Amino acid sequence: MKITHVISSLATGGAQRIVADLLPEIAAAKDIEVKLVAFSRSGSDIENELLSCPRIKTTFLDISSRHPAGWRRLRPFIREADIVHAHLFPVNYQVALANIGIGKPLVFTEHSTHNKRRDHRWLRIPERWMYGRYDRIVAISKGVEEALAGWIGASADDPRILVIANGIDIKRFSESRPPGGNSFGREGRAILMVSRFTAAKDHASVVKSLRHIKADDAFVAFAGEGPTLDSVRELAGSEGVADRVVFLGNRTDIPELVKSASVGVQASHWEGFGLTVVEMMAGALPVVASDVSGLREIVGDKGLLVLPGNACALAEAFDRILGDTTLSGRMSREGMEYARQFSIGKCAERHIDMYKEIARQELRPLRSSRS
């Protein structure tokens, strides 16, 4: 069975991370051939990681995923595949268009509970057309499934929508060790956030929380890059806490950083799954997260949940963990055990079962015709 995944690029991001971890696991299965088509190159560590995997053939179209002729460039790859699996916007539109007249089974992974398109009700018409071209839609959490079903007007029992939680390499985090020396370039207890700098991730509230934290030795360490990085730097200066914020950039030693930190945080306004939260828990790091769908579902009672955008609530949660070794120890143990259910192996098994089910045509697509 030939499975071809399509993504805009392999730049650093949550969707790219799960693709990089998932594809080698699927490719290791018997009688499955995995290919990856990316519209553009990024030169990221994730990209280099996948290029070094001999079991996966990666092709770059070397055009933007928004290029109007992108769908035409995809058609040869769709024709030679048995199943095509798309990730992210606007790749979902490009693949849907490219498959017209070919009619191959299509899968799309929905990675978030919200996107800007859903702010415009008139876009429901083309969105319903696009999603209707897919035989299966993988939702990475129950919250993602519910948000998507509400947007496209799907029923709760729509056979096309399947929840498959993201997975991580558990051992990579549970068995890592803190590196020698100071991982963050300064003394004190680190509050670590690993996330791309976007408005949705709300680094700003984490910066503002520093003005309310009672623990004088606490500082924030941000790993990642993105469009809001400069504004967050400026905010740290205007808030008078620039000396307590460390910007690490994109890092390849996240497991070691997790082991070196005292608290982990994900302060998103919305989140599809919260992959970095699972990674932190797998590394025995106590976590604080926004009480939003996606994070709430993953964290449960194994971490502390706070209202999104509330800097004071974040500070209070940080102080609770930093000031109570009994609490932090319990969260570390329980979180580490809880994270085991989110292994990349289990995630791959569920994807393989889905592909085989599609190949056997055991579930009739909601829309009977794609061509």
Residues 224 and 334 both lie in one domain = yes
pLDDT of residue 364: 47
Complete DSSP assignment for 195-237:
----GGG-HHHHHHHTTT---TTEEEEEE---TTHHHHHHHHH
Closest alpha carbon to 9 in 34, 44, 33: 44
State the total domains in the chain: 2
C-beta of residue 25 within 8 angstroms of C-beta of residue 344: yes
- Which of the residues in the chain have pLDDT under 50? 362-371
Amino acid 136: pLDDT: 96
According to DSSP, residue 12 is labeled S
Residue 368 lies in a domain: no
Same domain, 313 and 204: yes
pLDDT of residue 366: 43
Domain carrying residue 105: 2-167+344-360
pLDDT of res. 274: 86
Residues 267 and 330 in one domain: yes
Which tokens is 32 given? 């499955």
At 265 the three-state DSSP class reads strand
For residue 27, give Cα distances in angstroms to 103, 162, 182, 250: 24, 21, 38, 27
Distance in Å from the first CA to the final CA of the chain = 22
Per residue in 89-147, pLDDT (tens digit) is 999 999 999 999 999 999 999 998 889 999 999 999 999 999 999 999 999 998 899 99
Residue 365 resides in a domain: no
* Residues 322 and 241 grouped into a single domain: yes
Q: Identify the pLDDT of residue 294.
A: 85
The answer to whether residue 143 is domain-embedded is yes
Question: Do 231 and 107 share a structural domain?
Answer: no
User: Does 200 share its domain with 294?
Assistant: yes
| 99 and 199, same domain (yes or no) | no
Residue 369 lies in a domain: no
Among 312, 289, 311, 323, which residue's Cα sits nearest to residue 217?
Answer: 323
**Same structural domain, 125 and 187:** no
Tell me the CATH number at 9.
Answer: 3.40.50.2000
